[in-house]
């Protein structure tokens, strides 16, 4: 939710005001410092941050952290447990599990593959949450600010969407538009938007009664200016916390879709499909292929929850 | 206070060298330091000071209610001879038992909204005594009658939200008195109430004091209120006692510069900006972490401070018997006995309209102005639209004229429609009927359809300093926004314009870089004013801009508004519920009651007879900072009726104290016909059935 703030300082055209004179970098450092102090004050948030950073680092530096390609098959060692050669073992085709695990984290957190050769930075889960944030915030702002019929229509429509079980909604969407990273982003966005819209609407209803919104109205500002520049920036705290939790849910959803065979198409390393495939070999004495990706999903989701909860608690105590 | 050791046994409460600290992330901060006082049986002790001076902390310390992070770090509290500090919670509860009660500022938060009044009052008795619920309810009814609650028996069956604010506070006081406590602590009990209700509650406190022989600690920031009820007074500043003594002594000879400052910054009724200027105390109360340990705590804001004030913490000096002052300069300060607002030279420097000569141009007028809110209820009839729509008539047929260069005041109690009126004028509320013309152009339409050039000319200053500025942006950015929006100056000169505006509200350039959370309430309000002035409007509407501020800051903001009117010739509409503020600041005054104007005219004329009976009651209710002021006692019965169903005829008739005595047939006409606007000369209009001559024969309610 940093866009509106940046836009605000962007259209000042170098003429005036603090954002300019303070300098972008210093401003960023100041805000970053404030956030870090908040995280630091809560042990649970620090733990969460450590877990999340671990996975982010693994994902970014994946190509340098393993000699194997995630798709390279070693026919001499299929379905092995941890060894010096393969630290986490191999799957039934002899692919290195460590390599598949950290390349799988890449898709979740660092790159969004659009075609086979083209990808953009930012993981699938992050993009999904970002899109749902944009859609949800726009709907919530409009509903909360305009009220009346606009609000009724938007909220009833979203209520209808929320009445469908989440997993069913994912299945319907992905099954109908096909399994690919970009479609998973779309599914996450559609499923996440109603919840964010509700949150933003609630905050908007509160913030629109503040005197500074009244001042903007008496200045003859447009509704868009008021929603994006006056209201949205002040709703950012709870929205950012909510978004963090939602990244966790999105990772969870990606795992579920992969498990059901609706995730990234094979042979790409997808945590969910790794669990699905590895599941077959648990009873045959080789639990490793299912264990590691399950642990990865669980630890990342728990880490994000710790971080978000710790931050929320610390922010509330601050007030 | 050491002069009378003989009656030590009869002391109700003795507090010695009390110090209270709060734990924070940055270590302990001292909120109260070295406070001493004694309260005898049946005495009322006033604690006065600005917010953040530790008044409430003392009260919470006495009842061991400091919260998780607060603790008494030093000193002793003896209640009826028993030491309270250092005892375990359980014993404290037994000692205090039902002997100390507390009344808080906001009655709505003191009462449980889900329980009936009877249940809540009964519980107070049952939890402390062996008594049946029936007997407890009987005692509750008795007590409600003693606090003059109308229809006491029925009140027991109601829920808190079914009572008005004044009635709720009566219930809270009755509850506190149920166990006949020896000590009653009242923490700003009237601050949240309207002035007429406040006067009635203060009368009640006076009565109870005499009747029950209860010792009272009365905490307030309002010197006028404390002058009416207290026997002794302690002025607190930044957690320290700065002056204490018998109330007459302090009001007769205020000696500490802070006490003098507090008295000097409230306008007396009768003061007007043309004759004098308020003395605001510069600066603000330092936050606890920045308070110096070894210097006079007030020296940064003190006009008398010399070098030695910064060298040691002054010890209390006895000025006269029980009157103590913590100041090194008492010799100099005691010469400054006359502390009302500073007289201006006789020349009328105010650019406001004079009553002689041509009347100035009318900038804005409204005629038959109406703002109705649709009343919605959840009954089935309403949902199917079967019932006739009901309206809350917030503003009903109001006429107002605003003249160039003047400050127009609108006064009335909460719910009288004064805020709706100005919000309608500026376009924040939909207008239900009537005409509104500004600079000769019709503005009786929503803001979205108004021309930009008229929006620019009409700007607003808001009430709540904490929400008037957007916390996301810096002060400079928020002032610059209207400049850019309306293109008042060329792009390159924007920065200079922001500095000019900051300067005109007496703030330094560096404020441009600050965020709202980094500045105080008074400074936020100044920035709000600067933002309103940024589009260079002809008219600025001020919606209670000073009522949420401390008195010292209030004076500074009022001085600022006067300077702006003088220097820039800005026309203003000023809303307030404080009549002395309006009297001081405004050139014309409109008094509103229940959506109607009841009286209007130039401010000096309105405050002298002939009065509308409502204005008379309002004036008589104002607390005056002088314990010896003897005044006419006019109190209104009942509460303001609902605007959903206002009384027929004159809306004030059911509460009017003058009607039956001054009109034939006991004022039957008031219940049938709307009162005519009578002209009392010099632009003074009174909407009343009582003839002007009879109204003019009334005594002045001002001292």
Q: Nearest Cβ partner of A218 from B452, B459, B469?
A: B459
- Give the separation between CA B49 and CA B47, rounded to whole angstroms: 7
Q: Do the chains contact at A219 and B452, CB–CB below 8 Å? A: no
The superfamily in CATH containing domain B10-99+179-230 is P-loop containing nucleotide triphosphate hydrolases (3.40.50.300)
Q: Select the more confidently predicted residue: B4 or B243.
A: B243
Instruction: From chain B, pick out residues whose CB is under 8 angstroms from the CB of A41.
Output: 25
Whole-number pLDDT of residue B64: 83
Question: Which part of chain B is CATH 3.40.50.300?
Answer: 10-99+179-230, 362-590
pLDDT tens per residue across span A252-305: 888 998 898 887 777 778 898 888 888 888 888 788 888 999 999 999 999 999
Sign, CA torsion A296/A298/A301/A302? negative
Contacts of A221 in chain B (CB under 8 A): 485
Residue A90: per-residue pLDDT? 82
In this prediction the pTM is 0.84
Most confident range, picked from B196-200, B466-470, B488-492, B608-612: B466-470
Helices (H) and strands (E) in chain B, counts: 25, 26
Asked if A212 and B469 come within 8 Å (Cβ–Cβ), the reply is yes
Closest partner residue to B470 among A17, A212, A220, by Cβ?
A212
Give contacts of A233 with chain B, Cβ < 8 Å: 470, 472-473
In the structure, what pLDDT confidence band is assigned to residue B348 with cuts at 50, 70 and 90?
very low
Choice among A97-106, B309-318, B432-441, B634-643 with the minimum mean pLDDT: B634-643
User: What is the mean predicted confidence (pLDDT) over A9-20?
Assistant: 40
Return the pLDDT at B687.
92
State the DSSP string of B29-55.
EEEEEEEEEEEETT-EEEEE--TTSSH
Does residue B352 have a pLDDT over 50?
Answer: no
Scan for tokens 């009344």, then name that residue. B103
Out of A12, A220, A234, the one facing B471 most closely (by C-beta) is: A234
Given a cut of 60, is residue A220 above it in pLDDT?
Answer: yes
Residue B513 sits at the chain A interface (C-beta within 8 Å): yes
Residues B171-198 have pLDDT tens digits of: 999 998 888 888 999 998 888 788 888 8
- What pLDDT is stored for residue B631 in this prediction? 73
By the CB < 8 Å criterion, does A314 face chain B? Answer: no
Residues 35-94 of A with CB under 8 A from B: 41
Residue B254 pLDDT > 80, yes or no?
Answer: yes
The 3-state DSSP class for residue A56 equals helix
**B422 Cβ contact list (under 8 Å, min separation 6):** B410, B460, B541, B543, B573, B575
**Distance to chain A for B88, nearest Cα, Å:** 28
Q: Rounded to the nearest 10 degrees, what angle do helices A97-109 and A124-146 cross at?
A: 20
Q: Which residues of A touch B426 (CB under 8 A)?
A: 218
Which of A139-148, B24-33, B315-324 shows the lowest mean pLDDT across its residues? B24-33
Q: Is the pLDDT of residue B590 over 90?
A: yes
Cβ–Cβ of B452/A8 closer than 8 Å?
A: no
Question: From the CA of B546, how many Å to the nearest CA of chain A?
Answer: 15
> What pLDDT score does B48 carry?
92
Which run of H or of E encompasses B83?
strand B82-83
Segment B619-650, tens digit of pLDDT: 888 888 888 777 777 888 777 787 788 888 88
Chain A residues touching residue B447 (CB < 8 angstroms) = 217-218, 220
Question: What's the pLDDT score for residue A156?
Answer: 93
Tell me which of A212, A221, A232, A317 to substitute to probe the interface with B (most B C-beta atoms closer than 10 Å). Answer: A212
* B67 in contact with A, Cβ within 8 Å: no
Of all residues in chain B, the percent with pLDDT exceeding 90 is 22
User: Is the CB of B468 inside 8 Å of chain A's CB atoms?
Assistant: yes
175-234 in chain A: CB under 8 A from chain B: 210-212, 214-215, 217-221, 230, 233-234
Any A CB within 8 A of B430 CB: no
pLDDT beyond 50 at B8:
no
From the number of C-beta atoms within 10 Å of its C-beta (0-12, 13-18, 19+), residue B365 rates as middle
> What residue has token string 């008031």?
B670
What pLDDT, on the 0 to 100 scale, is given for residue B97? 67
pLDDT higher than 60, residue B569: yes
What average pLDDT does range B110-127 have in this prediction?
89
* Interface membership of A3 toward B (CB under 8 Å): no
**Closest residue to A212, CB basis, from B468, B475, B513:** B468
Query: Residue B307: is its pLDDT beyond 60?
Result: yes
3-state DSSP assignment of residue B207: helix
Cite the DSSP H helix spans in chain A.
3-10, 18-22, 24-41, 43-60, 62-65, 97-109, 124-146, 148-162, 166-177, 181-207, 211-218, 223-225, 236-259, 271-279, 288-318
Q: Which of B447, B460, B476 sits opposite A220 (nearest CB)?
A: B447
* Contact present, B113 and B125 (Cβ < 8 Å): no
Query: Using CA atoms, how far apart are residues A222 and A216, in angstroms rounded to an integer?
Result: 9
Q: How many CB atoms lie within 10 A of CB A50?
A: 12
Burial class (CB in 10 A: 0-12, 13-18, 19+), B440: exposed
DSSP letter for B271, please: B
pLDDT at B388 over 80: no
The pLDDT of residue B204: 87
The CATH architecture assigned to B362-590 reads 3-Layer(aba) Sandwich (3.40)
- C-alpha gyration radius of chain A: 22
Give the pLDDT mean for B39-57. Answer: 89
Q: What is the spatial distance between Cα B104 and Cα B123, in angstroms, rounded to a whole number?
A: 18
Could you read off the pLDDT of B233-249 as tens digits, one per residue? 999 998 899 999 999 98
The complex scores an ipTM of: 0.83
Rounded average pLDDT over B455-476: 91
The B residues from 19 to 58 touching A (CB cutoff 8 Å) are 25
Going by pLDDT thresholds of 50, 70 and 90, the confidence category of residue A8 is very low
Quick check: A4 pLDDT over 60?
no
Cβ–Cβ gap A230/B481 under 8 Å = no
Contact A21 B428 (CB under 8 A): no
Q: Which of A93-107, A129-143, A283-297, B64-78 has the highest mean pLDDT?
A: A129-143
Q: Which domains does chain A have, with CATH numbers?
A: 13-318 (1.10.3720.10)
pLDDT at B339: 52
d(CA B44, CA B51): 21
pLDDT at A38: 81
The answer to whether B427 faces chain A, any CB pair under 8 Å, is: yes
pLDDT score, position A39: 82
A285 touching B (Cβ < 8 Å): no
What is the phi/psi pair of residue B244, to 5°? -150, 160
Q: For chain B, give the longest Cα–Cα distance.
A: 79
pLDDT at residue A214, as a whole number: 92
Q: How many CB pairs under 8 A join A and B?
A: 86
How close B587 gets to chain A, by Cα (Å)?
Answer: 25
Q: In the predicted model, what is the mean pLDDT of chain B?
A: 85
B557 contacts B545 by C-beta, under 8 angstroms: yes
Please check the confidence at residue A213 and state whether its pLDDT lies above 90. yes
Query: Residues A40-61: what's their mean pLDDT?
Result: 90
Higher pLDDT, B107 or A235: A235
């Amino acid at each position: 939710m940093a866009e509106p703030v940046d836009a605000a300082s962007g259209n000042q055209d170098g003429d005036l005001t603090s954002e300019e004179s303070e300098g972008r970098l210093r401003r960023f450092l100041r805000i970053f410092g404030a956030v870090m102090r908040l995280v630091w004050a809560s042990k649970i948030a620090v733990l969460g941050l450590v877990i999340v950073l671990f996975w982010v680092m693994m994902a970014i530096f994946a190509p340098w952290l393993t000699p194997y390609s995630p798709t390279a098959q070693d026919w001499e060692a299929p379905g092995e447990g941890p060894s010096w050669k393969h630290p986490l073992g191999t799957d039934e085709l002899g692919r290195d599990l460590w390599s598949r695990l950290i390349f799988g984290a890449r898709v979740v957190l660092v790159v969004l593959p659009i075609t086979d050769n083209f990808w953009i930075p930012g993981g699938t889960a992050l993009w999904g949450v970002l899109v749902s944030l944009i859609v949800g915030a726009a709907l919530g702002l409009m509903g909360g600010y305009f009220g009346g019929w606009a609000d009724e229509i938007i909220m009833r429509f979203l209520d209808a969407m929320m009445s469908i079980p989440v997993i069913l909604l994912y299945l319907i969407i992905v099954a109908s538009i096909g399994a690919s990273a970009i479609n998973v982003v779309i599914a996450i966005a559609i499923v996440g938007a109603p919840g964010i819209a509700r949150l933003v609407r609630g905050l908007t209803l509160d913030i629109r009664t503040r005197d500074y919104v009244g001042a903007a109205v008496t200045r003859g500002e447009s509704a868009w200016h008021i929603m994006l520049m006056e209201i949205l920036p002040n709703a950012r705290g709870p929205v950012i916390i909510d978004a963090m939790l939602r990244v966790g849910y999105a990772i969870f959803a990606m795992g579920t879709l992969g498990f059901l065979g609706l995730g990234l198409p094979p042979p790409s390393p997808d945590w969910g499909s790794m669990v699905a495939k590895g599941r077959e070999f648990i009873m045959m004495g080789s639990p490793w292929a299912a264990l590691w990706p399950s642990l990865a999903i669980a630890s990342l989701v728990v880490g994000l929850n710790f971080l978000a909860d710790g931050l929320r608690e610390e922010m509330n105590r601050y007030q | 206070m050491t002069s009378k050791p003989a009656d030590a046994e009869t002391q109700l409460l003795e507090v010695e060298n009390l110090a209270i600290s709060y734990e924070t992330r940055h270590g302990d901060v001292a909120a109260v330091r070295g406070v001493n006082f004694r309260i005898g049986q049946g005495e009322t002790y006033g604690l006065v000071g600005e917010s953040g001076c530790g008044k409430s902390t003392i009260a919470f310390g006495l009842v061991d209610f400091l919260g998780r992070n607060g603790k008494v770090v030093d000193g002793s509290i003896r209640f009826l001879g028993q030491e309270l500090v250092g005892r375990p919670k359980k014993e404290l509860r037994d000692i205090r038992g039902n002997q100390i009660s507390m009344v808080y500022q906001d009655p709505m938060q003191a009462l449980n909204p889900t329980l009936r009044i009877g249940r809540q009052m009964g519980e107070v008795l049952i939890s402390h005594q062996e008594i049946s619920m029936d007997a407890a309810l009987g005692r509750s009814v008795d007590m409600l009658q003693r606090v003059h609650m109308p229809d006491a028996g029925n009140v027991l069956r109601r829920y808190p939200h079914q009572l008005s604010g004044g009635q709720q506070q009566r219930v809270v006081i009755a509850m506190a008195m149920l166990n006949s406590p020896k000590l009653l602590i009242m923490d700003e009990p009237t601050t949240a109430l309207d002035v007429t209700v406040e006067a009635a509650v203060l009368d009640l406190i006076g009565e109870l004091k005499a009747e029950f022989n209860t010792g009272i600690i009365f905490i307030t920031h309002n010197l006028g209120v404390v002058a009416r009820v207290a026997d002794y007074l302690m002025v607190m500043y930044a957690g320290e006692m700065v002056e204490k003594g018998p109330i007459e002594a302090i009001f007769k000879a205020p000696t500490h510069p802070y006490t003098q400052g507090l008295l000097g910054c409230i306008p007396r009724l009768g003061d007007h900006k043309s004759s004098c200027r308020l003395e605001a105390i510069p600066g603000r109360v330092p936050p606890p972490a920045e308070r110096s340990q070894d210097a006079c705590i007030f020296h940064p804001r003190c006009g008398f401070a010399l070098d030695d004030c910064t060298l040691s913490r002054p010890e209390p000096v006895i000025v006269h018997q029980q009157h103590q002052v913590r100041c090194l300069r008492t010799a100099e300060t005691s010469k400054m006995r006359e502390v009302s607002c500073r007289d201006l030279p006789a020349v009328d420097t105010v650019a406001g309209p004079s009553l002689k000569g041509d009347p100035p141009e009318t900038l804005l007028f409204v005629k038959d102005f109406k703002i109705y809110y649709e009343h919605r209820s959840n009954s089935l009839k309403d949902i199917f639209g079967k019932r006739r729509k009901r309206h809350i008539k917030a503003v009903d047929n109001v006429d107002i004229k605003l003249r160039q260069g003047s400050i127009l005041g609108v006064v009335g109690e909460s719910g009288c429609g004064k805020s709706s009126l100005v919000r309608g004028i500026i376009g924040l509320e939909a207008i239900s009927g009537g005409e509104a013309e500004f600079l000769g152009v019709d503005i009786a339409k929503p803001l979205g359809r108004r021309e930009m050039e008229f929006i620019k000319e009409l700007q607003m200053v808001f009430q709540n300093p904490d929400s008037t500025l957007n916390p996301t942006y810096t002060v400079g950015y928020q002032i610059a926004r209207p400049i850019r929006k309306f293109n008042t100056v060329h792009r390159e000169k924007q920065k200079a314009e922001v500095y000019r505006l900051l300067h005109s509200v007496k703030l330094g350039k560096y404020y441009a870089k600050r965020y709202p959370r980094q500045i105080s309430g008074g400074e936020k309000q100044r920035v709000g004013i600067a933002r309103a002035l940024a589009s260079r409007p002809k008219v600025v509407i001020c919606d209670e801009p000073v009522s949420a501020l401390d008195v010292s800051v209030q004076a500074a903001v009022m001085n600022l508004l006067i300077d702006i009117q003088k220097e820039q010739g800005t026309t203003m509409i000023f809303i307030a519920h404080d009549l002395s503020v309006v009297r001081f600041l405004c050139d014309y005054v409109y008094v509103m009651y229940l959506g109607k104007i009841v009286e209007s005219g130039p401010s000096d004329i309105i405050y002298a007879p002939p009065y509308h009976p409502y204005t008379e009651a309002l004036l008589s209710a104002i607390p005056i900072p002088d314990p010896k002021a003897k005044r006419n006692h006019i109190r209104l019965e009942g509460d303001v009726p609902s605007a959903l169903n206002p009384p027929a005829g004159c809306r004030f008739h059911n509460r009017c104290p003058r009607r039956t005595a001054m009109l034939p047939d006991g004022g039957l006409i008031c219940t049938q016909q709307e009162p005519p606007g009578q002209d009392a000369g010099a632009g003074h209009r009174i909407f009343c059935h009582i003839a002007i001559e009879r109204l003019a024969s009334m005594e002045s309610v001002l001292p």
